Structure formats: structure tokens, C-alpha cells
A = this chain, B = another copy of it.
Amino acid sequence: MLMSTVPSLAALSQKLTRLAVLSDEDRRAVLDLPVTLMTSRPGRCIVREGDKTDHVTVVRSGLAYSCKVAGDGGRMIVAFHMPGDIIGFHGVKPMVADCTVQGVSTCELAQVSRQDLVDLAATSPGITEALWRDREIEASILREWALNLGRRNARTRVAHLICELMVRQSVASMGYQSSFEFLVTQEQIGDALGLTAVHVNRTVQQLRRDGLIAGAGRVLVIPDWSSLAAAADFQPAYLHLPLDVPAAPAGARKSHHVSLAA
């Protein structure tokens, strides 16, 4: 058995495979896409608002976010990007980026020529379908985000964001992990939820007191998924997960956790 390094677009290939039925040839073509690899340190700009590039950027590892800023300087995070996500795919032709993308953590990225991607899609109905579906899911997440912002209080919003990131990260990494690496800053949570960092802090403490979340440092523990999901008003349908991807930790109604110094 040959040892092989992980292909640079493995995460993308896996994601597209989840979104549509791809042939082996499709998958190989994705993995063979010419790429420019790069690494981005936390906080550094991956895409800048106003950019108009003829490549797209694929997240290979790490976590990134898109944000916009209001006239008064208020920052709003409008999306988080996980491994396999395509950043800046605005269809066939490049468009002016309407938000800035930065890394939460160190990110490994791959730049892919938009034309290469478009050409590949043109030859493969499966990939075309997967790309459409991907965009549609992103829009659906954005709509749920709007609901979160407009019609839920801080406690529910924070819990909902945790649930969403938890499920998406689990799906992206193929399978639920017993613990959950959570590198998002409280200030970033606030920027994603339309709250101040101070209020996020108080809310997180409340969730902790209520036993809905636990954990120390960068590891988040969810003692009881169903309780958290209930508090979050979290219904994963909007993520349009394939039916064979469970929306909650398999079996584990309780005790979905790993002990860790509290």
C-alpha cells in the first residue's frame, strides 16, 4: 500500500461528493485542478472588499470568515468558511468582492483558476450540480442567519451559532468528534451575531452556568446536544445535509463530551 500525501483539494472533492453524485473521473479531475497553495495567518486578509480576481480560493484547513463594515465602523461577520468551502466563486465571470475575508485561525488555502473550475463544470453535470447546490446552501445559511439576527435573543443566537459551527465542522471533517475545537473569539462571535463582545461574554457564561456548554481554552464541550439544540432553536434542515449525514451526534443523546479540565 502506497503512502500518499493528502491531495491539496481533498476537502473540496469530499464536499462536492456530498453535494451531488460524482463519478470517479469527476473526483480525479477536481483533485487534479492546478492550484497555488498558500498559508494565511490568523486575522490576515484572504480577500479584500473591492477585489476582483480571476481565481477562487478554496479552504484546505482552518476557519475563515467574511465580513462587512457599516458606515459607523461596526463590523459584521456574514459567513464562516470551513475546509472545502469555495471563497469568491461568483459564477462564470469575476465580480467585485462585496466583503472582506479573513482567517480566524491559520488557514491553508488553494487558489484555483476560475476558468479551470468553470471549464471543469462545463464537462461534468455532477460538478455543475454540486457547485449550484453549494451556493444555494450558502444562501440558505445566510437566510437562517438573518432569522437569527432579527428574531432571536442573545442567548438563542449564541447557542445557534455554536450548533451551526459544530454541525458544519463535523460534516466537513467527516464525523462527529467528541470535542470541538472552537477558536472563534468572543468578539468575533459578537460581530457574527450583532452583539457586543461584552454581552457575548455574559451570554456565554450563562450558557455555561446552565450546563449547555462547557470546556476550557480552545476546546468546547457540549454535554447534551439535544438541550443545546433546543435552547438554540436549531433545526438543521436549512443546512440541507444529505440524509446519510446525521444532524446530531449519532446515538448520543446525552454525554457527547470528552472530559477536560474545567
Q: Which of A102-110, A133-141, A170-178 sits within the interface?
A: A133-141
**Residue among B70, B75, B135, B146 making CB contact with A145, cutoff 8 Å:** B146
Q: Which of A36-44, A149-157, A197-205, A216-224 sits within the interface?
A: A149-157
Contact across chains for A152 and B74 when beta carbons are under 8 A apart: yes
Q: With A133-B93, A135-B91 as known contacts, state yes or no: A149 contacts B146, CB within 8 Å.
A: yes
Copies of this subunit: 2
Contact across chains for A240 and B194 when beta carbons are under 8 A apart: no
Chain A interfacial residues counted at CB < 8 A: 47
Q: With A133-B91, A135-B91, A136-B91 as known contacts, state yes or no: A146 contacts B78, CB within 8 Å.
A: yes
Contacts of A90 in B (CB 8 A): 132-133, 136
A80-107 contact mask (Cβ, 8 Å, vs B): 1 or 0: 0000000000111101101100000000
Contact across chains for A237 and B98 when beta carbons are under 8 A apart: yes
CA of A184 to CA of B135, assembled, Å:
29
Whether A142 is near chain B, meaning CB under 8 Å from some CB there, is yes
CA of A98 to CA of B138, assembled, Å:
12
Contact across chains for A147 and B237 when beta carbons are under 8 A apart: no
CA of A72 to CA of B231, assembled, Å:
11
**Residue among B72, B128, B143, B150 making CB contact with A194, cutoff 8 Å:** B150
Q: With A91-B135, A149-B194, A194-B151 as known contacts, state yes or no: A66 contacts B240, CB within 8 Å.
A: no
Contact across chains for B147 and A78 when beta carbons are under 8 A apart: yes
Contact across chains for A99 and B143 when beta carbons are under 8 A apart: yes
Listed A/B pairs (22) with beta-carbon separation below 8 Å: A20-B93, A68-B144, A68-B147, A70-B147, A70-B152, A74-B152, A75-B151, A76-B146, A90-B136, A91-B129, A91-B132, A92-B129, A93-B129, A93-B133, A95-B133, A98-B238, A142-B143, A146-B146, A146-B149, A149-B150, A150-B191, A151-B194
Contacts A91-B136, A149-B150 supplied; 5 other A-B pairs, CB < 8 Å: A75-B151, A98-B143, A142-B146, A146-B149, A150-B193
A interface residues, Cβ below 8 angstroms from B: 20, 66, 68, 70-72, 74-76, 78-79, 90-93, 95-96, 98-99, 125, 128-129, 132-133, 135-136, 138-140, 142-147, 149-152, 191, 193-194, 233, 235, 237-238, 240
